[in-house]
Chains A and B, each alone.
Chain A
Amino acid sequence: MITRFLWQGMGPGLRLFTLLVLAVGILLPLANQLLPPTSPFHVPAWVLQLIGKYLCYALLALAVDLVWGFCGILSLGHGAFFALGGYCMGMYLMRQIGSRGVYGNPLLPDFMVFLNYKQLPWFWHGFDQFWFAAIMIVLVPSVLAFALGWFAFRSRVTGVYLSIITQAMTFALMLAFFRNDMGLGGNNGMTDFKEILGFPVQADGTRAALCFASAVALALGLVISAAIVGSRFGKALTAVRDAESRMRFLGYRVEGFKLFVFVLSAAMSGVAGALYVPQVGIINPSEFAPGNSIEAVLWVAVGGRGTLIGPVIGAFLVNFGKTWLTGALPEFWLFALGALFIVVTLLLPKGIMGLWGQIRDRSQARKAQGAKSGAEKARVPA
């Protein structure tokens, strides 16, 4: 039954795309590990790190699309769930440093020694175990999303008001995490990670494994999202997006639908953040910045909201552009981002995935026009 559930939403296009994601996640790390650096097909470690990062962004974009594209909830605070997952991973990585830190304290991370902590805060217990951290990576963002969604959806907060609440949430968390007495590293955040599951974080082999893990996570995200969207639940979900009150009068309690996808989406964001942190080597409160969440929404808009492939493509393209532009013309990135927002809204309302349909509609309209004028011409001599 589970297999049928997982398979029901996978159209041929999506199957191919998921395989492509997995192929990238397998072939790039293999090309890095097996081929000698002299080979033209050798993939340097920095490329693995970059692709791994993009894969995490793509998973975040997919999560945003699940609530925005399929349920109409425009969340401007998904960066918060991403960052919370990242912090959980960061706490695990900090505990793995042990006595190799600058101050050599076997129990307390460096920043705690520096801030004169005498003992480990209660919420740091358990994070020396990977399994515990893994549970928290999913649980912490889910619980926050559940609490927020429970109150917001039951009070029927929708549209722009909900967007503002999510934005305020991530902003409030940013301010909270900037404080040193949060016990989470203050504005410096956490860095100088040494090992993950016993492997050195900086090593090429670990990078290859993390890139692979990110690809697997994204592929799983695609399969799960497709299954949900393709089920009868998914049909009801898009109906809620299009005509919420109509669904109520049909007897659906729409809060349950919204809450489920919102929590699931937060959990996916958390996993994305957790895979992101060991690859970039740092997590700090700036990950909560409202701009990050808005950028994630833009990836979805560029790729095409309401499709599953779109957000992945959008996340890759926009971030590729960002990597290139912040290197070539750093002062222009924000202008480019703003321009992109305007261009997509005006010209590509359905994103890149909608482009094909737009072109087809236009050519059909032209053909119909041509047929009509042709028919008129034919009538003239008669």
Chain B
Amino acid sequence: MRSTSALLYLSGVTVSFDGFKALNNLSLLVEPGEMRAIIGPNGAGKTTMMDVITGKTRPDEGEVVFDGKSDLTKLDEADIATLGIGRKFQKPTVFETHTVRDNLLLALSGIRSWYKLLLAAPTKAEKDRLDEILTIIRMTDQQHMLAARLSHGQKQWLEIGMLLAQDPKLLLVDEPVAGMTDVETETTAQVLREINRSHSVVVVEHDMSFVRALGVKVTVLHEGSMLAEGTLDQVSADPRVVEVYLGR
């Protein structure tokens, strides 16, 4: 295992499903504090890459190193989450039968072992942190409402609150603006930039106008490998990228 200053370091990662190479010798570096956008056509391996980083899928070959010291290929989802990698799914997933406040409590970084949770009461610090997050996401009035009764937009906000509560070093975001209006897309870009002030972020996205609004370094994936890297203008001028996206 190489030592590196990068927050996330992927080198030569290969994943195959029944002979089909979902990831093919993929390498990627994300620096601390960076925000990175990953784009690519369907089947380029974006979701598989997220699965490898979060421990859901084990790579056949290659290195995945977090924070210069943790080999992610040896750890499971729970360990990796505890190290400080958070993941937001395309569809907002909140715990519907719990209240807004309990959703945040579950996400709050801290106790994770089942036997400690049996006897644990929320501490003063935890309560204060929950109040603080509720204020940030403007849901103090809804804190005792069941998450199932929230609107779609409120669920998105709650999920952002849960990510704040989890306080990861690296945040992986999967297609955050799928099915959103232009205004919502713009707001989400703002929120992500705000989160990026204190957290590193990797965003996977289809929507080019959203990627443009983020204004960050872009990595283009194609057939499981990196095709191009640079600013959005640079990569969209690359003839190989044009070919992949538009066909001949």
Query: Which A residues form the contact surface with B (CB < 8 A)?
Result: 1, 5, 228, 231-233, 235-236, 238-239, 242-243, 245-254, 256-257, 260
Given A235-B105, A238-B97, A251-B77, 13 new contacts (CB under 8 A): A5-B118, A5-B119, A231-B117, A232-B118, A232-B120, A232-B121, A235-B102, A239-B98, A249-B54, A250-B106, A250-B107, A251-B166, A252-B78
**Closest A-B pairs by Cβ, 7 of them:** A251-B81, A248-B77, A233-B117, A256-B114, A253-B78, A251-B82, A232-B117
State whether A231 and B113 are in contact (beta carbons under 8 Å apart), knowing that A238-B98, A249-B54 are contacts in the complex.
no
Q: Is the CB of B105 within 8 A of A248?
A: no
Residues of B near A254 (CB, < 8 A) are 78
**Which residue of B79, B113, B119 has the most chain A CB atoms within 10 A of its CB atom?**
B119
Residues of B near A252 (CB, < 8 A) are 78, 112
Complex CA gap A310/B166 in Å reads 35
Query: Which B residues form the contact surface with A (CB < 8 A)?
Result: 54, 56, 76-79, 81-82, 86-87, 89, 93, 95-98, 102, 105-107, 109, 111-115, 117-122, 162, 166
Complex CA gap A259/B117 in Å reads 15
Q: Is the CB of A249 within 8 A of B98?
A: no
Complex CA gap A1/B81 in Å reads 31
Q: Is the CB of B95 within 8 A of A248?
A: no
**Which residue of A228, A247, A251, A252 has the most chain B CB atoms within 10 A of its CB atom?**
A251
Closest to A247 in B: B106
A151 to chain B, nearest CB (A): 17
B84 to chain A, nearest CB (A): 9
Q: Is the CB of A239 within 8 A of B106?
A: yes
Complex CA gap A231/B119 in Å reads 7
A251 partner, pick from B56, B89, B95, B112, beta carbons under 8 A: B112
A249 partner, pick from B81, B111, B114, beta carbons under 8 A: B81
Q: Is the CB of A253 within 8 A of B106?
A: no
Ordered by A's residue number, 23 sampled pairs between the chains whose C-beta atoms are within 8 Å are A231-B117, A232-B118, A232-B121, A233-B114, A235-B98, A235-B105, A238-B95, A238-B98, A239-B98, A243-B95, A246-B95, A248-B78, A249-B81, A249-B86, A250-B81, A250-B107, A251-B79, A251-B82, A251-B112, A252-B112, A253-B113, A256-B113, A257-B114
Residues of B near A249 (CB, < 8 A) are 54, 77, 81, 86-87
A354 to chain B, nearest CB (A): 13
Residues of A near B97 (CB, < 8 A) are 238, 242
**Which residue of B77, B89, B93 has the most chain A CB atoms within 10 A of its CB atom?**
B77
Closest to B118 in A: A233
Q: Is the CB of B98 within 8 A of A253?
A: no
Q: Is the CB of B95 within 8 A of A242?
A: yes
Residues of A near B76 (CB, < 8 A) are 248, 253
Complex CA gap A228/B87 in Å reads 29
Residues of A near B112 (CB, < 8 A) are 251-253
Closest to A237 in B: B114
Residues of B near A260 (CB, < 8 A) are 114-115
**Which residue of A5, A250, A254 has the most chain B CB atoms within 10 A of its CB atom?**
A250
Residues of B near A238 (CB, < 8 A) are 95, 97-98
Complex CA gap A205/B36 in Å reads 76
Complex CA gap A162/B107 in Å reads 28
Complex CA gap A232/B117 in Å reads 5
Residues of B near A231 (CB, < 8 A) are 117-120
Q: Is the CB of B117 within 8 A of A236?
A: yes
Complex CA gap A359/B95 in Å reads 25
B80 to chain A, nearest CB (A): 8
Closest to B113 in A: A256
A256 to chain B, nearest CB (A): 4
A255 to chain B, nearest CB (A): 9
Residues of A near B111 (CB, < 8 A) are 232
**Which residue of A238, A239, A243 has the most chain B CB atoms within 10 A of its CB atom?**
A239
Complex CA gap A260/B114 in Å reads 8
Residues of A near B82 (CB, < 8 A) are 251
Residues of A near B56 (CB, < 8 A) are 245
A220 to chain B, nearest CB (A): 17
Residues of B near A242 (CB, < 8 A) are 95-97
Closest to A256 in B: B114
State whether A250 and B118 are in contact (beta carbons under 8 Å apart), knowing that A238-B98, A242-B95, A243-B95 are contacts in the complex.
no
Q: Is the CB of B122 within 8 A of A232?
A: yes
B217 to chain A, nearest CB (A): 25
Complex CA gap A47/B36 in Å reads 72
Residues of A near B120 (CB, < 8 A) are 231-232
Complex CA gap A232/B122 in Å reads 8
Q: Is the CB of B81 within 8 A of A248?
A: yes
B128 to chain A, nearest CB (A): 17
B133 to chain A, nearest CB (A): 15
Residues of B near A251 (CB, < 8 A) are 77-79, 81-82, 109, 112, 166
Residues of A near B54 (CB, < 8 A) are 249
Residues of A near B119 (CB, < 8 A) are 1, 5, 231
Residues of B near A257 (CB, < 8 A) are 114
Q: Is the CB of B105 within 8 A of A232?
A: yes
Complex CA gap A233/B97 in Å reads 15
Q: Is the CB of A236 within 8 A of B114?
A: yes
Residues of B near A228 (CB, < 8 A) are 118
Residues of B near A256 (CB, < 8 A) are 113-115
A265 to chain B, nearest CB (A): 15
Closest to B168 in A: A251
Complex CA gap A252/B102 in Å reads 15
B218 to chain A, nearest CB (A): 25
Closest to B87 in A: A249
